[in-house]
Amino acid sequence: MKKQLLILSSLAIAGNSFSQVLLNEAFESGLPGTWSKTTLATDGGWKNGAAAALSSANYAFSATNATKFMGTNDDACNCNKSADRLVSPSMDFTTPGSYRLSTDIYFQKGTYQGKTEIGTIEISTDGGGTWTVLRNLTAAADWRTESIDLSTYAGNGDVKISFLYNDGTGWLFGMGVDNVSVFIPQPDDAKLVSTTLNRYSLINTNNTLSLSVNNNGSNAITSLEVSWNDGTAHTATIPVNIAAGASANVNHTAPVNYPTANTYDIDVVITQVNGNADPNPNDNTGSTIITTLSQSPVKKVIIEEGTGTWCQWCPRGAVAMDYMETTYPDRFIGIAVHNGDPMTVSAYDNGANFGGYPSANVDRSMLDVGVSQASFVSYYNARKDLVVPVAVAGTATTSGSAVTIDVNATFYSNFPTANYRLGVIVVEDGVTGTGSGYNQVNAYANNANGPMGGYESLPNPVPAAQMVYNHVGRALLGGYSGQSGSVPTSITDGQVVNYSFTYNVPATSNINNMHGVAVVIDNATGEIMNANKINFSGNGLGVKDVETIDMIVFPNPASDKLNVGFEAKGGSYTIEITDLQGRIVVSESFTNLSGAQSIELNTSNLKTGNYLISVAQEGASFTKMISIK
């Protein structure tokens, strides 16, 4: 969020137009001495910092506000947050006229064990002796601007604003406050709150730049002149209807469209309001970025589900994961992140930072969302067709218990300042155990809460002997955030980035039930851009039996023709070439092969780039990377 300079007096802006600002605080230097706070909590109540510093073990403030703000949250202290009040300095409203409050708020309004948190914005006209509620905050998933008309309180000389948080005696999300401004509105005053633009787009595709605009003026806004500039100004006058104190989303009429693959920085400014200069242009600017792609690879959707054997509602997540894997086997990837049981990987559990169990992160973009079959389907549908800048694939080779995972990522744009990382998440199916920690607590026993994939017919808890756990996250190769240095900072369109990881399968795991999930992570946002499965054993991209099929390919790189040599042991064989998006581009089947084989494939129609070639017979396969020049 854009910060404003502290202004405590009149501002002479835009010639003869003036906007009197009584209070403007962004909390960048902490809580000013003119502010105060009261609390019953042992942690001191409201704290100052950025999102990462103020987020607790389970409840995170949204990082879309990358600057400092005031926040309160009871997860870390588990203390009494029923009366956390943040109080502004006194302001003089004795001059008759209009007054307005504008402030940025973060408040999700959660409920836990029947307790609901409450957030209010309040006003006092007697220096803080008594308070009147101006607004009861409703739930929102991210930061938003609250604008409140204070004209009713004109004539008072000791006015204070406060922000009151009540946790309802439950572990809940908390509240954040930023950019508090109290001012006398001028006729035509707009505030650009944020801009929205597709982060990635194919070349030669129209994209709509959307603006969130607040009307901080006294007049209704009927038109806005808005310019977006990437070195060339694209200016349009846009008809709108925004009442005083209201907000609206406004679409710029000039589409964002580029013919070449590159990353573009775009500045946005509101240049006129109702045909007039804005009396306060300090809050009229913003910026955004778009990267255009030469092609868009197939998007795989990862859902990481927070679960635990102690969690009575977590069978719901296991059932949903099985449904998704069965229904969408090609583009869904599910991983169970365990907490508080023998399958817990602490680094994974801590990194996922779930607010409760069961819960889920979707591509690490949709965080701490609900768990159910219907919810998972909706998340999948919302993400599966996104335009993404990278395809990821790889192969695995085994030597005893050691696995080498070669990951490759193909990028489809020019990135002069890339900030991506590669990683591998090791996953195991068919996990069992004999200790009591493998007993699954089951709220659905005896059909107490309706059908749930068979759990309604199982006892509570389900004994370990009856439990088989799938999708279990076992290790993070490269760490939760991916391997530092695995992707260069400068990338060109079509560039393939390779990185090798190693993993030693412990004796307690079954390599035949394991696979890796190769991921490309945007290190700036933490989002998983794309992913793919790499089998350690079995069908797919990995290796079932290196001994069964010993394949050689030549020449490599190839151009028009590629020769595949292997020793056939009798029977039918399939040779396939797939691109790094998982699409089959060459497929040949052969029957009654025996002995040494040399098969020539026509590759003249393939584009320059890297591919995977596999030879398979009755489930056994060998896969190798090839290049076409």
| pLDDT tens per residue across span 370-414 | 899 999 999 999 999 999 999 999 999 988 889 999 999 999 999
Distance between CA 483 and CA 521 in Å, rounded?
A: 9
How many structural domains are present in the chain?
Answer: 4
Q: What angle do CA 420, 425, 427 make, to 5 degrees?
A: 160
So what's the pLDDT on residue 592?
84
So what's the pLDDT on residue 334?
97
- Which of 183, 208, 240 marks a domain boundary? 183
**Claim to verify: residue 26 and residue 140 sit in the same structural domain:** yes
Q: Check whether 138 has a pLDDT greater than 70.
A: yes
Q: Check whether 16 has a pLDDT greater than 70.
A: no
Distance between CA 292 and CA 388 in Å, rounded?
A: 10
251-255, 315-319, 325-329, 475-479: the lowest-pLDDT one = 325-329
One-letter amino acid of 148? I
Q: Tens digit of pLDDT for each residue in 488-524? A: 999 999 999 999 999 999 999 999 899 999 999 999 9
The confidence band for 270, taking pLDDT boundaries of 50, 70 and 90, is very high
Query: Closest Cα partner for 2 from 308, 284, 274, 414?
Result: 284
- Which of 183, 215, 248 marks a domain boundary? 183
Average pLDDT for 584-592: 86
Instruction: Classify burial at 426, counting beta carbons within 10 Å of its beta carbon; exposed 0-12, middle 13-18, buried 19 or more.
Output: buried
**Claim to verify: residue 561 and residue 465 sit in the same structural domain:** no
So what's the pLDDT on residue 617?
73
**Claim to verify: residue 172 and residue 215 sit in the same structural domain:** no
The phi and psi torsions of 291 (rounded to 5 degrees) equal -120, 125
Percentage of the chain with pLDDT > 70? 91
The confidence band for 616, taking pLDDT boundaries of 50, 70 and 90, is confident
Q: Check whether 199 has a pLDDT greater than 80.
A: yes
**Claim to verify: residue 590 and residue 531 sit in the same structural domain:** no
Q: Check whether 620 has a pLDDT greater than 70.
A: no
**For all residues of the chain together, what is the average pLDDT?**
88
The confidence band for 544, taking pLDDT boundaries of 50, 70 and 90, is very low
| Torsion angle defined by CA atoms of residues 517, 385, 488 and 367, in that order, rounded to the nearest 10 degrees | -70
Q: Check whether 540 has a pLDDT greater than 90.
A: no
36-45, 160-169, 359-368, 574-583: the lowest-pLDDT one = 574-583
Listed in order, strand segments (DSSP E) in 342-460 are 359-362, 366-369, 390-399, 402-411, 420-428
- CATH value at residue 592: 2.60.40.3080
Q: Beta partners for 155?
A: none
One-letter amino acid of 155? G
**Does residue 48 lie within any of the structural domains?**
yes
User: Hey, is 505 helix, strand or coil?
Assistant: coil
**Claim to verify: residue 374 and residue 455 sit in the same structural domain:** yes
42-46, 62-66, 195-199, 373-377: the lowest-pLDDT one = 62-66
Average pLDDT for 577-586: 73
Q: Tens digit of pLDDT for each residue in 78-88? A: 788 999 999 99
The confidence band for 571, taking pLDDT boundaries of 50, 70 and 90, is confident
**Does residue 361 lie within any of the structural domains?**
yes
**Claim to verify: residue 366 and residue 488 sit in the same structural domain:** yes
Average pLDDT for 27-45: 95
Q: In whole angstroms, how large is the CA radius of gyration of the chain?
A: 29
**Does residue 150 lie within any of the structural domains?**
yes
Q: Check whether 262 has a pLDDT greater than 90.
A: yes
So what's the pLDDT on residue 581?
54
Q: What is the DSSP letter of 604?
A: T
Q: Tens digit of pLDDT for each residue in 429-444? A: 999 999 999 999 999 9
- CATH value at residue 238: 2.60.40.10
**Claim to verify: residue 309 and residue 286 sit in the same structural domain:** no
**Does residue 270 lie within any of the structural domains?**
yes
- CATH value at residue 82: 2.60.120.200
**Claim to verify: residue 223 and residue 270 sit in the same structural domain:** yes
**Claim to verify: residue 159 and residue 35 sit in the same structural domain:** yes
**Does residue 541 lie within any of the structural domains?**
no
User: Hey, is 52 helix, strand or coil?
Assistant: helix
So what's the pLDDT on residue 576?
86
Task: Write out the H or E segment, with its range, that includes residue 587.
Answer: strand 584-590
Q: Which domain holds residue 210?
A: 190-293
**Does residue 40 lie within any of the structural domains?**
yes
One-letter amino acid of 224? L
**Does residue 546 lie within any of the structural domains?**
no
So what's the pLDDT on residue 202?
96
Average pLDDT for 230-251: 95
**Claim to verify: residue 31 and residue 148 sit in the same structural domain:** yes
Terminal C-alpha separation, the chain: 47
**Claim to verify: residue 372 and residue 483 sit in the same structural domain:** yes
- Which of 183, 199, 219 marks a domain boundary? 183
Q: Check whether 235 has a pLDDT greater than 80.
A: yes
**Claim to verify: residue 250 and residue 367 sit in the same structural domain:** no
Q: Tens digit of pLDDT for each residue in 72-128? A: 987 777 788 999 999 999 999 999 889 999 999 999 887 766 778 999 999 999 999
Q: Of the segments 168-177, 288-297, 543-552, which one has the largest average pLDDT value? A: 288-297
So what's the pLDDT on residue 173?
79
- 111 Cβ partners below 8 Å, 6+ apart? 117, 168, 170, 172
- Higher-confidence residue of 26 and 54: namely 26
**Does residue 475 lie within any of the structural domains?**
yes
So what's the pLDDT on residue 64?
72
